Each structure stands twice: as structure tokens, then as C-alpha cells.
Amino acid sequence: MPRVVRIDRDHPEPEILAEAAAVLARGGLVAFPTETVYGLGARGLHAHDVACIFAAKQRPPGHPLILHVDGEAMARSLASTWSARASELARAFWPGPLTLVVPRAPVVPREVTGGLDAVGLRSPRHPVALGLVRAVGEPLAAPSANAHMHVSPTTAEHVVRSLGDRVDLVLDAGPCAHGIESTVVDLTSDVARVLRPGALALDTLRSVVPDAVYESVTALEGAARVSPGLASKHYAPHAPVVLADAGGVREEVVAALARGHRVHALVFRPETAAALAGDASRGAAVRMVLRRLPADPEGYAHELFAAFYEADTASADVVIVEDVPGDPPWWAVADRLRRAASKGG
């Protein structure tokens, strides 16, 4: 078990931030809450510390990390050019769940960017994350605090379950507000391109950059990958994930139960839940867990990863998920579900 310390979410205790900063200054790894998911932090301008993140996550070296900054001034110091559009977005949405990919300044080690000439930067809104960057006084590299390919943690307990002793200190400020990762936008070309839909809604982003483009994971399947580290399979619980439309969920559940499988069913429409209630309450009950997630995209995103962790804890054999609507407010969730269900690498 790593050391886990409770910290106040809104008014983080300065002495706890100082302890965490000291662990980082020694080259250690600190998991900390952000408004999206928990991050696994190390000093971002020290190649050796950054290498420890890759080792702890067992993450392949080509996958770029996000540098967490305390605002636009620190971000500018890490970029070789900082466009008017970058400023506009930073002023509109920082601190917050938006990562900007911009040309890398030489001070940023190549280990951070996976060898790319661009770097991902984000100023988090969470007082603990922001306080920690300030206590250290330099950018923190932090991917989600989970083992490679596993589900992003939305509680300190998930971090411990996914990484165990591979992290030196975990700051526990309770569940994350969004529960899904930041929206990543590439600003290195003329078009602003959404690389990963996330906690900042696309409509909101487009209120500032109306021409931001997004190609969904489905469109990208089989095509060249825009963003290394965005493998099609990602964010997955240990059990296989099967996506089915509302009409097909019950069929999948019945077939899995007939095979003797322990089933975790995640649905959100009241009628789908009602259709499955009978299966869940019959003799099958011990083999089946039925979870109804909120029917709005923000609420659903907030609970999805916790539901995946729950399926892992219950040693589910299969996670059967009712597919979500295809319209823009659901794109971030749809992206995570497609990746979780993907059999690709």
C-alpha cells in the first residue's frame, strides 16, 4: 500500500502540499486529484522523473504526457510559439479540463512528448492540483494514475487498486467532479483539431473556436493515428466490454448468463433497466449486477469509470453496456465506450 493522505478539496492544507512537493523534489511520484480524473505526477522538466511515470504505468515510451501548469505564463514558457488562438482558449477555459497541444520549447524533455515536437499543456481547476503545481514551482507531468490501458481513476481508492506500491504518495480529496479526462485540442496546424473529446463539451469549445474539427474514434479506426497514445483500445476494465443497442442488451445478457458468465450490465434508459430487472432478480441474481447510470451525459461520465472499477472488483466475466446516443453531448462518453469495447491494440 502506498501512503494515502486525506487533503481538503477546496482548501488544501499547505503542510500536506509541502510534503507532496518534497516527495516530487526527491524525484518521487505523487498521485493527485484533478477536476477530471486522478493524475500520476512527477516533475515535468526532469527526464529521469518522467521516466519513472512510464515505468510505474508500464506505458510505452511513444505516448506523450500532459504538462500541468498554473496558468498561461507558465504555459508560454514551455511553448516555442504561442498563438492568439492558444491565448483565447486559455483565457476562456483555464483553469479547466482543456489540454492544448502546442509547439514544444527546447526546455521540455523529449521523454514528455514521446519524441514529438509538440507538447500538451493544461492548467487544472482543482485546488489540490493547482496548489501542488504552485508548491513545486514548475510544471508537473501527469497522465491518468492508472496502469497502461486500464480505466482512469476517479477516486484515490482506484489509484491504489490500479498502481499499488508503484506510487509514493496518494493525495485523497474524494471523487473527481467530471470523472472523464480533459478535452485535448491540437493547435499545431491551421485547424484546431480535437484529438480526444472530454470533460470540456464540444459545443462549449466551439463557442470560442467555431471551426474546431473532430473526427470520431469510429472514423479513425484503421486510419493513421493522429495522436500517439490514443490507441483504439484504452480505458478498459479487465473483463471484455460488449456494446449493444437498447434492443440488443437483454439478448446479450441472457446469452452470457446461459454460458454461466458473471455479468455486469450498465444501462441508462429506464425501459432497458426495467426489461432486465426480471433477469437480475431471478436465480441469476448472484451472477448479475445491474447498474443504471444517469441518463444525461455529464452524470453518466461522472459514474462510468467507477462502474468499470466495480466490475473489476466483482470479477465480472463480461461487461454489457447499453450504447449511448450519437449526438455531440455524448461524444466523449461514446469515445470511451468504443475504446473500452475495442479489441484493437
* Smaller CB separation from ligand TXA, 148 or 269: 148
> Alpha-carbon distance 324 to 208, whole Å?
27
Are 195 and 186 in contact by the 8 Å Cβ rule? The answer is yes
Which listed residue (99, 123, 144, 227) binds Mg ion by CB under 5 A?
144
Give me the residues paired with residue 223 across strands.
Answer: none
- Please compute, for residue 56, the number of CA atoms within 13 A of its CA located in the half-sphere on the CB side: 30
Q: Give the shortest CB-50-to-ligand TXA separation in angstroms.
A: 12
> Which positions from 284 through 313 interact with ligand TXA, judged by CB under 6 A?
none
Answer yes or no whether residue 75 interacts with ligand TXA by CB under 6 A: no
Dump the DSSP string for 195-249.
EE--SS-HHHHHTT-TT-EE--HHHHTTSPPSSTT--SS-S--SS-EEEE-HHHH
Judged by beta carbon, residue 32 or residue 330, the one nearer ligand TXA is 32
Distance CA 25, CA 170 (A): 15
> Which one of Mg ion, ligand TXA, none is in contact with 272 (Cβ closer than 5 to 8 A by kind)?
none
Closest by CA to 76, choosing from 134, 21, 139, is 139
Stretch that binds ligand TXA, among 30-38, 208-216, 271-279, 332-340 (CB under 6 A): 30-38
In order of 30, 103, 110, 111, 154, the CA distances from 141 in angstroms are 11, 16, 12, 10, 18
Q: Which of residues 221-250 bind ligand TXA (CB under 6 A)?
A: 227, 229-230
Residue pair 195/227 in contact (Cβ under 8 Å)? The answer is yes
Q: State the minimum distance, in angstroms, from the CB of residue 229 to ligand TXA.
A: 3
Select from 58-66, 69-77, 279-287, 289-297 the region that touches ligand TXA (CB under 6 A). Answer: 58-66
Task: Note whether 65 binds ligand TXA by CB under 6 A.
Answer: yes
What residues line the site for ligand TXA (CB under 6 A)?
34, 36-37, 39, 63-66, 99, 101, 113, 116, 118-120, 122, 142-144, 181-182, 184, 195-196, 227, 229-230
What residues line the site for Mg ion (CB under 5 A)?
144
